[in-house]
Amino acid sequence: MRVLMLMVFAALLALLARPAPVHASEIVLSTQCPASFENRAGHCKLVSNYSAYSSLENGGVGGLKTGLPDIRDGFTPQEIDLGRYLFFDPVLSGNGKQSCATCHNPDKGFADGRQFSPGATGTLTARNVPGLWNVGFLKRYFWDGRANSLEQQMQGPLYSKGEMASSKEKILASLNGNASYRRLFASAYAGSTITIDQVYRSIAGFESSLVSLNSRYDLYAHGFPDALNKQEVEGLNIFRSFVARCAECHTPPLFTNQQIVVIGSPEPAGRAFDPGAGNYSAEQRLRGGFKVPSLRNVALTAPYMHSGRFGTLRETVAFYNGGRGHAVPKEETLFLHWHIHEPKLRDEELDRLVDFLKTLTDESFKPQRPIAVPSGLAVSR
């Protein structure tokens, strides 16, 4: 009898712990800026310890006291929160089943843990899904760098037949035909009709709020030496060394220099060579070139490289130790980046690099996944 009562009590606790159902008509937009943003005259501005640093005066390549590039901020709290709902709402897809969060899962570093991802038709994407942390600092998007703004970037997956397979007409008809979305857009923007530019801006506002700057590395950089252990400090020193040259491209504190580089990363077996940025330029030097990704939260976003070729960080760092051009197809002539050479790091040095890369993990400001979305569709998980 006592066991039965305990079971009933546990079941009641489980029911009480569940969030109360939220109906679309009950959703209201937040008037508070996200964590690490300060409300200044109704607009959210980033506040960071890095604001006190100057790249020119204190930095140098890979320096700890290096300032960040400018971030895309200044959105209102309502714009950002509206973008959060849109990001998780499958209403933006052609079939009502995919959302931005389907591939950019906040529980997987805003990637999806797959080598390639199935779109609306089940067709696999051509490249690995990148994470989204700190995208508000970036100036170019996609692995090949072909987009120059978040608004331009998001139109790729939204309208690609192999991804969300939607259209501007479909999105506007769905949103303007939904009373909850009309109400929410009216609270974020003036006017009674939802426009596509408002959709883009809201999602850009939310994505720009995805800031990760509070890792153990950041504590160390700000003057707390005990934030990293001995092995991790060794890894940091290898990372910054002229032998490994990691910091030449993955420059702290953003851990990317945002450039297009050719490193000769291999494709999976059976996949054709990907020319990357060479698809959009007549310059031979860009053939096989890809954008240097940020390493923030890199431990959460396996597999790695544009092709998802490597399943672990250890495999990835070992690639750079394999010698200049060792994975380039024989029929290809690529202009490899100058720092791709043969560092001849020992196994234990590669292990220390991995130890350091794991200190870049910080999800302290991970946004809340909505319980419900205004369309009434199932929230993407």
pLDDT tens, 264-276? 999 998 899 999 9
Task: Please give the tally of structural domains in the chain.
Answer: 2
In whole angstroms, give the CA distance from residue 381 to residue 6.
32
pLDDT at residue 345, rounded to an integer: 97
Q: Are residues 340 and 243 in the same domain?
A: yes
Q: How many CB atoms are closer than 10 A to CB 159?
A: 16
Are residues 112 and 103 in contact, defined by beta-carbon separation less than 8 angstroms?
A: yes
| Cβ-count burial 299-338 (b if 16+ within 10 Å, e if not) | bbbbbbbbbbbbeebebbbbbbbeeebeebeeeeebebbe
Q: Are residues 349 and 226 in the same domain?
A: yes
In whole angstroms, give the CA distance from residue 143 to residue 264.
14
Q: Are residues 269 and 149 in the same domain?
A: no
Boundaries of domain holding 290? 216-360
pLDDT at residue 79, rounded to an integer: 98
Q: Are residues 158 and 221 in the same domain?
A: no
- The string of pLDDT tens digits covering residues 122-135 is 989 999 999 999 99
pLDDT for 184 beyond 60: yes
Q: What burial class does residue 43 get, using C-beta atoms within 10 Å of its C-beta: 0-12 exposed, 13-18 middle, 19+ buried?
A: middle
pLDDT at residue 30, rounded to an integer: 97
pLDDT at residue 191, rounded to an integer: 87
What percent of the chain has a predicted confidence (pLDDT) above 70? Answer: 92
Q: Are residues 204 and 220 in the same domain?
A: no
pLDDT at residue 21, rounded to an integer: 61
Q: Which two tokens stand for residue 226?
A: 């005990």
Does residue 64 come out as left (phi exceeding 0), alpha (psi in the -120 to 50 range) or beta? alpha
Residue 376 lies in a domain: no
pTM of the full structure: 0.92
Q: Mean pLDDT across the chain, nearest whole number?
A: 91
Q: How many CB atoms are closer than 10 A to CB 90?
A: 21
Q: The domain spanning residue 239 has which CATH number? A: 1.10.760.10
Q: Are residues 192 and 274 in the same domain?
A: no
Q: Are residues 255 and 331 in the same domain?
A: yes
Q: Are residues 76 and 168 in the same domain?
A: yes
Q: Are residues 242 and 131 in the same domain?
A: no
Q: Are residues 291 and 233 in the same domain?
A: yes
Q: Are residues 143 and 120 in the same domain?
A: yes
